[in-house]
Structure formats: structure tokens, C-alpha cells
Amino acid sequence: MPLTLALARELTGAHARDAVLAITFSRDGAHCVTCGRDRAFALWSARTGTLLRAYRGGHGREVRDASCARDGGTIATCGGDRGVYVWDVATGAARRRFEGHDGDGGTNAVTFCANDCVVVSAGYDASVRVWDVRANGGRAMQILNARTGVGFEDSVTSLTRDEAWPRIACGCVDGATRVVDIRRGELHVDAYGVPVTSVSFSRDNKCLAVGCLTSRVCLAECATGDGLNTYRGHVAERAKTQCALTSDDAHVVSGSEDGRVVFWDVVTAEIVAEIDAHDPSSVVCGVDVSPPGVPPALATCATDGRARLWTITSDR
């Protein structure tokens, strides 16, 4: 079924027109967070587009990803300086700073899990680390890497969480996805043969959308790894772009290296909408869809330094 997207809000005033690298909705859809190359992240009202607060002075390099706690009181961030932070939204103070990722490449992705008691991060050092937010120490409670039986062979680019916990999925430059049950120690690996830049669970957590550098998004069944569909029509050959499923699991969406955002019907793989969301010379590196229970909306950000909110309507 075709979709219509309309620009609702332009998010301006936080990142000084430097590249905006990630954007995510809060769990209730009331707010969204942007992450910038300018070492800052910002909190916005998703309804009005108002800048509520810009957070600066923590990260020493670009901020690459953020995750909002369920209660809206804290935000976890990560970036090029290898640090993983948990921030108090109201005060702007860093409640926790976790260190442990190795090398100079930094940390690529972060997410809250386990009722916000745990933060999981993915790094350039071919590892995923699990941090206990409640513990006093700053060391990881669990490390997933080749030494511990999870054989990442290159940078781990992306993370997605199963809301039921303790399962996470990871995308890696080595061309594989890995679904890990943290508690049971179970691991399922699927090879795609090319770098994986994005992973996203469906809302029912039974399927995984996988963004690859050969300008394709794949949909796989988590339990078996069987491929269910492939989606083409965007450009993803050299840069990290993000994919996701809509809140009703009816559509797949991805950013593109030419400023576009593309939607596909999840069953037919036909393009049902595409918009020139950003400057055609920019990479749309971040997309997110609003959670269930709020009007359908899309958040986008790009290397042109802009972040935008869009309404989504079905053409019935």
C-alpha cells in the first residue's frame, strides 16, 4: 500500500550545521535524540520540534549513537572517543562513564536493555560489551569477542535489542550478523558476504532487517536465519546507512547515500514511497520510526547537518 510522507519539523539549533550522525525516538515517542559530529547530542520534542537541551562537554570526539531509557530520565551515548556514557536528562550530568573498548576506532552503537539496568555497546575493536548501570565499578560485566566465543572479525557496526531481553543482534563489517542470547550463551550467525551496517528487530522480535553495503536490505527469520525477502532501490555502497521496520512491521525503511529515504512493502518488496529527505550529495545515515501507540512518524538525519521529522500516512 503506498505511503505519503510530509515534512513536519526541522530540528535546528543544536549541531551548528555539522553532520548529524544518528537520530532515535524515545520509548514513548514523545522525544527524539540527535547525535553530532560536533561532539554534542541533543534532546527534542517530537511533537513541536523544539530543542529542549543540547549536551556538550562529555565526548572528546563525535557522538555516534544514543539510546533512551524507558522512563525518559537517562540517555546512553557512545562515540569516537571509546567512552560509553549514561546521562541524567534533567541535569545534563554524566551519571556513569564506562571504559574498556580498545584501539582508536571508538564505539559505534549503544542500547539500553533489561529494564534499563544494562547498557550494551558495540565497538570498532570487534567486541560487544555489557555494562551494569547499577554497579559501582566501571568494568564490563560481560565481553563478547573472539576470546569469549563470539568471533567478530572486524568492527561491530550496529546493535538492536529484543525488548524481552536477554537477546541482542549485531551487525559487523566481517559480513555477518550475530544473534546472541546473553543469559544462555547461545549464538546464531548468518553470513551475508559483505559488510553489514545496520540491524533492526521487527516489533514481534521474530525477524531481523539487515542493511548491507551492496545497496540491499535483507529480511531474515531470527530462529532459522532463513532469508524472507530482499529490498533494493536505495544507494548503500560506501557509507553506513540505517534500516528499520515500521511499528506495524508492514514496511521496511532505509536511508540512502544520495539524500533519499526509501520505503518498501515488507511482503512484496515493492517501493511504496521514496522522498528526497536531504541534500542529494549527503548520506542519510540515521532513520528511526515512531513506536506503537503514537501517530506514525519518521525521523531522519544526514551528513548535510540536518535532522528532520516526517509524518507518515497510508494512501487508502
In a 10 Å sphere around its CB, with 0-12 CB exposed, 13-18 middle and 19+ buried, how is residue 94 labelled? middle
pLDDT at residue 315 is higher than 80: no
**Strand ranges across the sheet with 84-88:** 63-68, 74-79, 84-88, 94-98
What's the pTM? 0.95
Q: What does the domain layout of the chain look like in residue ranges?
A: 3-314
User: What mean pLDDT is predicted for residues 265-269?
Assistant: 97
**Residues 213-248 pLDDT 10s:** 999 999 999 989 999 999 999 999 999 999 999 999
pLDDT at 316: 62
* Grid cell 562537554 in the structure block, residue: 57
107-131 pLDDT, tens per residue? 999 999 988 999 999 999 999 999 9
**Fold classification of 3-314 (topology level):** Methylamine Dehydrogenase; Chain H (2.130.10)
3-state helix, strand, coil in the chain (%, to 5): 0, 50, 50
The Cα 134–Cα 245 span in angstroms is 32
